[in-house]
Amino acid sequence: MRPLPTASNFRADDDDGSALGDFRFRALLSDQAWAELPAPIRNRFSKRLADGNTIVYVGEILETRMSLLGYWLAQAVRLIGSPFPISRDAHVPSVVTVTEDMATGGQIWTRLYARRNGFPQIVHSSKRFCGPTGLEEYVGYGVGMELTVCVEQRSLIFRSHHYFLQLFGVRLRLPRWVTPGALSVTHAELGNGAFGFTLDVSHPTLGALIHQHAVFREVQS
């Protein structure tokens, strides 16, 4: 089992960590993998968000593709907080905010996706630094997933390890046949302060269900 990430895993003079102060994502990777990431990505995932600080990213959804089954999956899971895009709209604005989750010691990620018709879609999730893989994402109503983190082609990749349902203090690992399949999120550096966000959901039998690609920049306060 991977040890839980703490700041004590690292020396105070480690590059990118001493000034920024948050070692939790870094602890999920080997030193070699962390060093392969471009400096802007290391900086984004090392910022301490204590005392109510918030990071804001603004950008544009460039592409959203969904199969018919992917579309109906996205509509069905609106019952648990709408974690997937619910429309195929492209070239619409998006805003992402990241704040510290004071209740769990993780981070709250809030995503706003503008739509050409109707109100914007709002997605909330909590990244928690715990569990067998060291990282999980909770979307609400007792539903979440354990995540693994790796570096590929100098990009940071988050992948679903398994999904779970937690009710009344009991956590149940969901069998694969009741889950949407493999989920991956890619954070890629684009240069000039911009980064790419790519979401893919693929089922082993039903194939590609959802693909979304967006570009963001941090808003400097």
What domains are there in the chain, each with its CATH number? 7-218 (2.40.128.20)
Q: How many other C-beta atoms are found inside a 10 Å radius of the C-beta of residue 116? A: 10
pLDDT at 187: 98
Is 183 exposed, middle or buried (CB count within 10 Å of its CB: 0-12, 13-18, 19+)?
A: buried
* 3-state class (DSSP) for residue 141: coil
Is residue 51 scored above 80 in pLDDT?
Answer: no
Is residue 15 scored above 60 in pLDDT?
Answer: no
* In the block, residue with structure tokens 């609106």: 78
pTM: 0.88
The mean per-residue pLDDT over the stretch 188-217 comes to 97
Task: Please tell me the distance from the alpha carbon of residue 89 to that of residue 65, in angstroms, as a whole number.
Answer: 9
Categorize the per-residue pLDDT at 174 as very low, low, confident or very high, splitting at 50, 70 and 90.
very high
Categorize the per-residue pLDDT at 4 as very low, low, confident or very high, splitting at 50, 70 and 90.
very low
The mean per-residue pLDDT over the stretch 126-138 comes to 94
Q: 135 phi and psi, to 5 degrees?
A: -150, 135
Mean pLDDT of the chain, nearest integer: 89
Is 105 exposed, middle or buried (CB count within 10 Å of its CB: 0-12, 13-18, 19+)?
A: exposed
**Closest of 9, 105, 148, 123 to residue 61, by C-alpha:** 123
Is residue 12 scored above 70 in pLDDT?
Answer: no
Write the CB contacts of 169 (distance below 8 Å, at least 6 apart in sequence).
none
